[in-house]
A and B are shown apart, each in its own frame.
Chain A
Amino acid sequence: MSNPTHLQYTKEHEWLAAAVDGVSTVGITAHAADALGDIVYVQLPAVGDTVTAGETCGELESTKSVSDLYSPATGEVTEVNQAVIDEPALVNSEPFEGGWLFKVRVEATDELLDADGYTAFTGA
């Protein structure tokens, strides 16, 4: 699956959408979801939590392993995706769409990659 050009990416395989009214949506990439295999449990930060760019803010469990979720941005969490909590497989089937994880009021980000940069980074 190709990486959408309207998103920005981290080397920890999260994506960050452009802000709408200062709020950005966060998810993990198709590459990451594919590497994890079937995701069975998603632990997300709570609404109102402050997350910090580059630091862990949750975890994703798959059949074979557990992986930390790193926030691509610093800011307050405004919404979490209840649909992926109820049905974690959405992260596998729609990583860039219905499988989004949370929304954050972005104060700052680390250096992010564009789609071409991320694609090159993953060696795809």
Chain B
Amino acid sequence: MSLRLTALDALHRSLGATMTDFAGWDMPLRYGSEREEHLAVRTRAGLFDLSHMGEITVSGPQAGELLDHALVGFISALGVLRARYTMICREDGGILDDLIVYRTAEDEYLVVANASNAQVVLDALTERAAGFDATVRDDRDAYALLAVQGPEANGILAKLTDADLPGLKYYALLPATVAGREVWLARTGYTGEDGFEVFCAPADAEHLWTALTEAGTAEGLVPCGLSCRDTLRLEAGMPLYGHELSTELTPFDAGLGRVVRFDKTTNGGEFVGRKALEEAAAQAESNPPRKLVGLVSEGKRVPRAEYAVVDAEGTVIGRITSGAPSPTLGKPIAIAYVDAAHAEPGTAVAVDVRGRAEPVEVVALPFYKRAR
């Protein structure tokens, strides 16, 4: 099967990007040095093409009730032009995907799913919509998605729009005109920095990319690929589906039980997965299985996904879900599920890095938090 191309494909190639297959999309992995791209986002600004993300529009008089039923969050309680991080689970509590839901109007929501799960989410929402006065629309081809992330993002956007950026709070969005094009401008991201995500028509993507690049030149904005997006989110302690999240895990297993809103008042409080999630919540409270923790190494060899975490005797006590050399900390970091007995910050454990035990210390997530 041939890879899907974003509206910016020709532009990435003209910039000399190294491309990679990501969930069936041909995406920029990096343009030059991924470390430089990472540091640009931490200190200046980076521009990303995220058009692989899966947009689904849910609208109608009962759109909010449908989402309250289909997702674990209390979505109908969200204010118009606000966004929420949430999840969609199976009846058994297993995570199908993590999502951002934007309320774009009184009776309309934009659900953004991971590229790898977009079809699964679309199918689940469509099936769960039965009996609700609401429609679920596949809008994957209706949007391109650009992100401008980093401390200079606000100043760069301000050159291209009259939108009220100071009034646009974290996890909020606005219909805005950016560089003469109508877009949804959201203050969201996946990097741990301030920044914006720009949902636009695919036909406008190249114009916006070029305008943002030109507006950001003085601030040191650089194009950024998925490689640095992964190390940025890892430092920020943000989960990635397929690594920290899967159908085998509930939100409580992932330490994200706060996204499950048992206090929803719509649909009589019922939602898909409620019973299993109540049990998962009780178990997390009384007898937690493995916990999601951070690991920091003083060595140089990098703990990577799937490597075993071991105790002093070499007994396996956990497994790495993501790991990389951290450009900001200058040392290897990882996220792992470890037995609760070893999950306390400060605990010394080790990672089996291809046959050799590398000492690491358990730390609280995130590894990096920006100064506000």
Contact = CB atoms under 8 A, between A and B. Distances in A.
Interface in B314-372: 324-325, 354
Contacts of A66: 301-302, 304, 354
Given A40-B325, A41-B325, A61 B34 contact: no
Interface in B276-325: 300-302, 304, 324-325
Contact of A38 (B35, B300, B301, B304): B35
Given A61-B325, A63-B324, A38 B302 contact: no
Contact of B302 (A37, A61, A89, A92): A61
B204 to A, nearest CB: 31
Q: Tell me if B's interface is mostly helix, strand, loop or mixed.
A: mixed
B300 A40 contact: yes
A65 B230 CA distance: 13
**Which of under 10, 10 to 19, 20 to 34, or 35 or more describes the interface residues of B?**
10 to 19
A78 interface: no
B354 to A, nearest CB: 8
A6 interface: no
Q: From B227, B231, B302, name the one whose CB has the most chain A CB atoms within 10 angstroms.
A: B302
A3 interface: no
B34 A37 contact: yes
Contact of B227 (A40, A41, A61, A63): A63
A43 interface: yes
Contacts of B33: 37-38, 92
Contacts of B69: none
B187 interface: no
Interface string B23-34: 000000110011
> Chain A at the B interface: mostly helix, strand, loop or mixed?
mixed
A40 B34 CA distance: 11
A86 B227 CA distance: 24
B304 A41 contact: no
Interface string A33-75: 0100110110100000000000000010101111000000000
Contacts of A37: 18, 29-30, 33-34, 227
Contacts of B18: 34, 37
Interface in B8-47: 18, 29-30, 33-35
B231 A63 contact: yes
A41 B34 contact: no
B227 A64 contact: yes
B35 A41 contact: no
A41 B231 contact: no
Contacts of B30: 37
Interface string A11-49: 000000000000000000000001001101101000000
Interface of B: 18, 29-30, 33-35, 227, 231, 300-302, 304, 324-325, 354
- Rank and list the top 3 A-B pairs by shortest CB-CB distance, nearest first: A40-B325, A41-B300, A38-B35
24 contacts: A37-B29, A37-B34, A37-B227, A38-B34, A38-B35, A40-B325, A41-B300, A41-B301, A41-B325, A43-B301, A61-B301, A61-B302, A63-B34, A63-B227, A63-B324, A63-B325, A64-B227, A65-B304, A66-B301, A66-B302, A66-B304, A66-B354, A89-B35, A92-B33
Given A41-B301, A64-B227, A66-B354, 15 more contacts: A37-B34, A37-B227, A38-B34, A40-B300, A41-B325, A43-B301, A59-B354, A61-B301, A61-B302, A63-B227, A63-B231, A66-B301, A66-B304, A89-B35, A92-B33
Interface of A: 34, 37-38, 40-41, 43, 59, 61, 63-66, 89, 92
